[in-house]
């Protein structure tokens, strides 16, 4: 099973994981690393390494970060020398929900599918739900079925 780290500024990582688990149950081999203000990079790197050891089962590690160019991503980029590590930025709850469906696949495939799920979940609600449907409107569940 591919291990997953969610790394973010503040408590976002743990919050996203917690929300996903409220919706679908336990996410095995998924851990969060939250970066606190003024925490030094050595401390952060040590925590990331410790969490990697917790989730690593030899099939690769996907690191999900909050924003490209931020400390979580920049520290994660140093880990890309290892072929069994991939970094995907812009983490959101739908990415974690999708992850549960793809756990038996390869690291590369999981990263592509999770990225796709994250992108597909970003919509302009008024524009999207303004499409034709029942009563001239498309409900959220109808929209989900069409996707």
- Is the predicted pLDDT of residue 147 greater than 90, yes or no? no
pTM of the model: 0.85
| Residue 76: how many other CB atoms lie within 10 Å | 24
- Structural domains present in the chain: 3-146 (3.40.50.510)
Q: What is the pLDDT of residues 75-123, one digit of tens each?
A: 999 999 888 999 999 999 999 999 989 988 999 999 999 999 999 999 8
Count CA atoms closer than 13 A to 17's CA, side-chain side: 20
């Amino acid at each position: 099973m591919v291990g997953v780290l969610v790394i973010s500024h503040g408590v976002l990582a743990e919050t996203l994981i917690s929300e996903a688990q409220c919706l679908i149950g336990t996410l095995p081999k998924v851990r969060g690393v939250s970066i606190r203000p003024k925490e030094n990079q050595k401390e952060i790197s040590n925590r990331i390494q410790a969490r990697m050891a917790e989730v690593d089962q030899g099939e690769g590690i996907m690191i999900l970060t909050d924003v490209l160019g931020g400390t979580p991503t920049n520290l994660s980029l140093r880990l890309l020398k290892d072929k069994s590590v991939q970094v995907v930025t812009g983490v959101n709850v739908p990415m974690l929900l999708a992850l549960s469906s793809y756990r038996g696949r390869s690291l590369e495939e999981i990263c592509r599918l999770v990225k796709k799920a994250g992108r597909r979940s970003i919509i302009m609600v008024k524009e999207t739900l303004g499409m034709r449907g029942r009563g001239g409107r498309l409900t959220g569940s109808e929209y989900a079925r069409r996707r």
